[in-house]
Amino acid sequence: MNAVPRRIRRVLAGISLPVYLLLYAPLSVIAIFSFAPSLGHPGPNLAAYGMLLNDPEVLAALRRSLTLAIGSAVLGTMLGTLMGFGLSRFRPAKGGGFWVGTLPSLIIYLPIIMPSLVFGISELIFFNFVHEYTGLLSAGLLTMGIAHVTFQAPYVALVVYARLAGLDPNLFEASQDLYANAVKSFVFLTIPVVRPALIGGFLLAITLSIDDFTISFFTAGPGSVTLPIYIYSAIARKGSSPEINALGSLMIATVIGVALLYYFVTRHRERSTRIPAVA
């Protein structure tokens, strides 16, 4: 009886190991090459990390990336929460029709499925048009932030929608029976229920912002170089170097650290809120 499950596990292991190798081998190579010998530093060393942390251009690009990521993630999470809530309340399954149910769903999905190149070029044309006729929205961190919010909010909306879709709709009716209006029901019922989704969506928005290059490249200005743009320009000038590998390794370590922190926090919260079984 156990022979078939054991064979299945072996087949799945044989399939998954090459996939994991393909995913994580490039990341491991970047981390290893960040300790490569350089001029004046023979043998594996940390010189690349020291040079990186003392580079004013890298530090300035890091500050811009963090400012852009956190600022756009806050606004994107707020808008995405409202979009996800509206999508759950007026989804097509409830008979909302095309204009109320299907059309909002299409609007949310379009920025996700649209190629980044097309999205970035359209944002560039739009901002140039507005700046030409009004003098507003010149290329810089502001235009980059607006562009990032436009693709962060749909992702947050889907995360929040997935959380709300699994709830019993009678909860909202019960809150109305307890004399809670729409605002109080949203603040005291919806927000606490979707709080894990809000945290996850916020972290996802930050990751998307830091990771984005194409849209940032088309909407950036002369003084708004972020880390992805800096890495691209540095590789274009002098190719891959231990400093660039060190920067990539630090970014990978930061993302892994944030993911692990979120995992342990959610696990601790689930254990603390778990109701003990009654003997």
Average pLDDT, the chain: 78
Write down the pLDDT at residue 149: 92
Which residue in the block uniquely carries the two structure tokens 């200005």? Answer: 221
Tokens at 184, concatenated: 């109080």
Which residue in the block uniquely carries the two structure tokens 């992702």? Answer: 155
pLDDT greater than 60 at residue 232: yes
Is residue 224 within 8 A of residue 146, CB to CB? The reply is no
The pTM of this model reads 0.76
pLDDT greater than 50 at residue 277: no
Is residue 45 within 8 A of residue 37, CB to CB? The reply is yes
Compare 173 and 276 and report the one with higher pLDDT: 173
Alpha helices (runs of H) in 35-140, residue ranges in sequence order: 47-53, 56-89, 97, 103-113, 116-134
Q: Give the closest residue to 214 by CA, choosing from 149, 143, 119.
A: 119
Domain 56-273's class? mainly alpha
β-pair partners for 38: 41
Domain ranges of the chain: 56-273
Is residue 40 very low, low, confident or very high in pLDDT (cuts 50, 70, 90)?
A: low
